[in-house]
Structure 1
Amino acid sequence: MKDPALASSSRLGGAVISDRVVASLLEELSNGRYAQADRLPAEVDLATELGVSRTVIRDALSEMERAGYVERVRGIGTVVNRAVLGLRSRLDQKLEYYPLIRSFGSYPHADGIQVMLLRAGEEMAHALALEVGDEVICIKKRILADTTPVIYSIDYLPRSLFGNRDYTRIDLTGDIFEILEQECHQQISSNVAHLKASCGDEAIRAAMRLAPGEAMLLLDEVCFNRLCKPVMRSLSYYTNFFDFSILRKLL
């Protein structure tokens, strides 16, 4: 039966429809008609069921295979990897704080939000392809799960992304990926991340209520748009509230 959400989006571009097909299939694999299946139906059957073209199905399955949810095996079909489907916090995928915290059964919210204008030093200028001294907007906030601090986030955005607009009149307190898309018309397509243990400075330690000697996982990322241009540097300090996984595909 045709998915109404997919049918209503038939006028949209192929990439948008493909993304929705992926979301629909992942939901069906987790909680729907394919919840017990070890393989997905053939492409032609999926296209009929979802009311989309085989090209869209093929693109969606390719994306799911890259993410490790399925493997397409010649002569066998599309095999489901149940172990990967069960992973809820993967460092090899885009991490959005609020959905991640909700997956642990907690209520996410932010406080202690600070927005300030800085000048790029050599390291920041290099990371964001700026000139030393260029303006950078810095957004700091603490993320809580219920009443427990679990993430300290520091995001750096080139001031130039906002053009001539007064950034102080823009709400910069929400999801940073949505801010980039809605306010700067920038869609993140990839990032380069460095992981390390970090104790954080005294201000961060106090905000996160860390015990003496307790360290955090620091995810230091530079995010790139579809033109492969850096548009954000993000420092995310995670407490041991989280248990992360990384999928490593051997090709």
Structure 2
Amino acid sequence: MPVPYWIALFLFTLGYALALKHGEISLGALPVLVALLGSALLARRAVLWQTTLGHSLFLVLALGLALHWLPGFHNAKVIDDVVLSRGATPFSMNLNLDKPLIGLWVLLACPWLIVLRPRGMLLSLAVLRPLTLIACLGGAWALGLVAWAPNWPDVAWLWLANNLLLVSLTEELLFRGYIQGGLERLFKHEGLALGAASLLFGLAHLPLGWQWFYLSTLAGVGYGLAYRHGGLLVAVWCHVFVNLVHFSLFTYPMLAPA
């Protein structure tokens, strides 16, 4: 297995250690865990119908996990309606134990998607990361969603650990590793894979409003290019970097209505 695979698996272990410290998983989650394991085993089979069944079952389970519909997961609320920066809407945060299982499934079922491209890492970190940051936060500022508000509240380290281990890593495994990497592997077309993954990433943020759909799609393009040129861990780092600058230097999560 490639080194990024073991690094990602280690980060997931850390993430669950953090989450389990504040929450719990009941026996009601056991059928979900068994179904995830079974679908991962099917997805790795060489028989087409078994592979198709495994991926189809995963997509259904992933939707339920992402929307917190499946039983047995008690996601502890660790931040409850706290105003983190001047003029911001109140912010709440759960340590979600269910959603990260999506990324863990990708690690188990599709380890070949976890790549590291050393030659493109410098380009991704030095060029794509700042361009993505400027496009996303500059766009958010232009749309009146955020303002300059430097702050490092007491809950910042907890937020950062959650964002790295339970949010960004999971989302990059799903959208860049599984969707973008999988579509590249299937259709041999990098542009199609990048566009589809970015659009789906934007659609996942559509409930927050069209502005966040637009900005998230832009972010998806930046993270997708980082994944293409530098690999999964570079895409994760770019994702965390943009979120961290937003959290520490701008209104978080957004400006409250006037």
TM-score norm. by structure 2 comes to: 0.25
After TM superposition, the score normalised by the length of structure 1 is 0.26
- The structure with the greater share of residues assigned to helix is 2
More strand by share: 1
Structure with the bigger RCO (C-alpha within 8 Å, sep 6+) is 2
Task: Answer with 1 or 2: which has the greater Rg.
Answer: 1
